[in-house]
Amino acid sequence: MKAGSLLDTMSIQMGCTYLSDLCFLSGFQYRKLAEILNSLPAEAFDLREWNDALHYLTRENQPGMNAEQSRAVLIAWLLKQ
């Protein structure tokens, strides 16, 4: 399942030309991304990958204690956009 980083996977799943396009998705697209991440088990990527994605999109530096927590925080953030 894992061919690259979580951010790369997210970018590909959303059809982004560039990784930075993830920062400019519409609210609908963020909800779609949340659905995609919700279908991924937390253990599909390591904690560092989840924290990197969380920081990249939210610009906050509050890493999760484990992959499941970071995944949940990222999904919650996406659903609020």
Give pTM, 2 decimals.
Answer: 0.91
HEC assignment per residue over 25-36: CCHHHHHHHHHH
pLDDT computed for residue 81 by the predictor: 94
Mean pLDDT, the chain, as a whole number? 93
> Could you state, in order of their start, the residue ranges of all structural domains in the chain?
6-80
Confidence of residue 2 (pLDDT cuts 50, 70, 90): low
pLDDT tens digits for 43-65? Answer: 999 999 999 999 999 998 888 89
Gyration radius (Cα) of the chain, Å: 11
The stretch 3-19 carries a mean pLDDT of 93
Which pLDDT does position 50 carry in this prediction? Answer: 96
